[in-house]
Amino acid sequence: MTMGKGRIHYVLLSGGSGMRLWPLSNEIRSKQFLRIFKGEDGSYHSMVQRVYRQLLAADPAADVTVATSRRQVSALLNHLGEGVSICAEPCRRDTFPAIALAASFLHDQKGVSPEEPLVICPVDPFVEDDYFCAMKDLAMLPDDQCNMAVLGIHPTYPSEKYGYVIPVDDQPVSEVRSFREKPDKETAAQFIAQGALWNAGVFACRLSYLLGQAREQLGSDRYTELRNGYDRLPKISFDYAVAEKERAIRILRYNGSWRDIGTWNTLTEAMEENVIGDATLSDSCENVHVVSDLDLPILCMGLKNMIVSASPDGILISDKEQSSYIKPYVDQIAGKAMFAEKSWGSFRVIDVEDGSLTIKVTLMAGHQMNYHSHAHREEIWNVISGEGCAIVDGRRRDVGPGDVVMLPVGSRHMITAHTDLQIIEVQLGQEISVEDKVKYPLPEGIL
C-alpha cells in the first residue's frame, strides 16, 4: 500500500530545560521561548514562534501538534495561541515515549488515518524557509520499500555536539549505512570524510509505523493506556529505540543553512543586533552581545568577545567560547524560576523575604486566573495598570489603577482582564508554596 495523499501531519518536539542559556532560560522557560528574533514590526519573537510561522508558510495545509511536557503547556499557549494542538507528557521520559504518545494522540484524539504522512522535528532549529520545503519532500519518501526517512544536514565542520548519519552514497536521496553517536572532534572528521551528515532529529514515516513501534516496544498504541501508564514507560531516545534499528530507511540530503542554537555562542551568531534590552556598549567593545530582561541599565566598557545576560534569575558575564561550558556551574546555583510565561500572561518575582513573596503579574486582555483559594497565605493585589474585574468569595468588583484588593486566608478569588492588566501581588504567610492552591468552578453568571 502506498502512502495516503492527505495533508502532512507534523509533530514538533518541545522539551528540555535549556540551562545552557541561563539566566534567560530555566526549568520552565526553555530556550525555544526566548524572544530574541526581531520581526518586521519591531517586536521580538521566540524560536518556537519563528519555526511555527515558517512551517505554516511553507505548508499552509499542515496539521501541527506540539509534543511537550506539562510544565511547558502554558508557555506554548502564550506564544502560539489558544488554538495550537498540544500533546503533553504527564511526566518526563525521553523522545521515543513522547513521540509514541503523540502518535496515539493523533490517531485516537484527532482521528488521523494510520496511512497519513507524519514528520517529527525539533521545535527550535534556526533555519531558512527552504528547510521546511525539504521536510515536505521528506514526508513523501516512505513507501512500500522504505519505512522511514531522515533529514541529513551537510556538515560545515567536525562537530562534537551532533550525531551523524552515514549514507551509502552521495546522492540527494540514498539508503542509510549507519547512525553514529556524538563523537570527539577527530572521529567527527573521519565521519565527514566518509560522507556523513549531521543528524538533525527530523524523521518522516506513516502514522501506522509509529503505532506499530508503540505496540511492539511499549505494549500499547492507545492514547489513554500510554498516558495512564506513562511514568512506567522506559526512558529511551527515538534514535536508539527506532531509527538506529530500522533497516528500511533513507536519508534526504539538506545543503541549506542550519543551526542548533543551544549555547550563548551560537545564539549570538543568529542575533541581528548586539543589544536586546537596556544596555550601552562603548566604542571600545568588540564582538560583545548583551541580552537583558531587567529594567535596569547595563553599561559595557572595553569588553571583547563577551556575552552579558541578565534576568531575574541571575547575571552571566562570560567569554563567548567559555559560555558553552556553563551548565555544571549553573546546576550549582540555579534556584526557583523568578520569571515564567503562562497561557494568561506572565509573572516576575520582585522580592523574596521570610514570610512574604512579591510578584508582578501581567494578565493579557480577555484572560483570567482560575477561581481558587490558599490555605496558608493571604494576598494583596495592587492594580498598577489596566482594567478588569475581581471576584472574591462570589462578589464581583471592577478594578483599575490604584485599586487594592485584600484576599484573606481561605478566600476564593480570581481576576479577569478587560485590557492588559498589571498587578503587584504580595503573598504573606509562613508556608508560601505553589502547592497551596485549591481550584473551584466559577459561580454561574457572575461574569
Write down the pLDDT at residue 397.
94
The whole-number average pLDDT for the span 59-74 is: 93
Per-residue pLDDT for 439 more than 60?
A: yes
Which has the higher per-residue pLDDT, 378 or 20?
378
Q: 44: which residues sit within 8 A by CB, 6+ positions away?
A: 35, 36, 37, 38, 276
3-state secondary structure 310-321: EECCEEEEEECC
Residue 1: pLDDT band by 50, 70, 90 thresholds? very low
Residue 18: pLDDT band by 50, 70, 90 thresholds? low
| Average predicted confidence (pLDDT) for the chain | 91
Cβ–Cβ under 8 Å, residues 429 and 389: no
Per-residue pLDDT for 197 more than 70?
A: yes
pLDDT tens figures, 221-263? 999 999 999 999 999 999 999 998 989 999 999 999 998 888 8
pLDDT tens figures, 258-310? 988 888 988 898 888 999 999 999 999 999 999 999 989 999 999 999 999 99
Per-residue pLDDT for 17 more than 70?
A: no
Which of 25-34, 171-180, 243-252, 298-307 is most confident? 298-307
Per-residue pLDDT for 341 more than 90?
A: no
Q: How far is CA 243 from CA 74, 111, 141, 250, 399, in A?
A: 31, 25, 15, 11, 56
Helix (H) or strand (E) holding 217: helix 207-218
Write down the pLDDT at residue 309.
96
Backbone φ/ψ region at 33: left (φ over 0), alpha (ψ -120 to 50), beta? alpha
The whole-number average pLDDT for the span 65-89 is: 92
Residue 112: pLDDT band by 50, 70, 90 thresholds? very high
Per-residue pLDDT for 135 more than 80?
A: yes
Domains detected in the chain: 9-260 (3.90.550.10), 273-333 (no CATH), 344-440 (2.60.120.10)
Cβ–Cβ under 8 Å, residues 349 and 83: no
Which three three-digit cell numbers place residue 2?
502506498
Q: Could you tell me the pTM of the whole model?
A: 0.84
Pairing mode of beta strands 438-440, 388-392: unpaired
Cβ–Cβ under 8 Å, residues 62 and 83: no
The whole-number average pLDDT for the span 131-150 is: 93
pLDDT tens figures, 347-371? 999 998 999 999 999 999 999 999 9
Write down the pLDDT at residue 334.
64
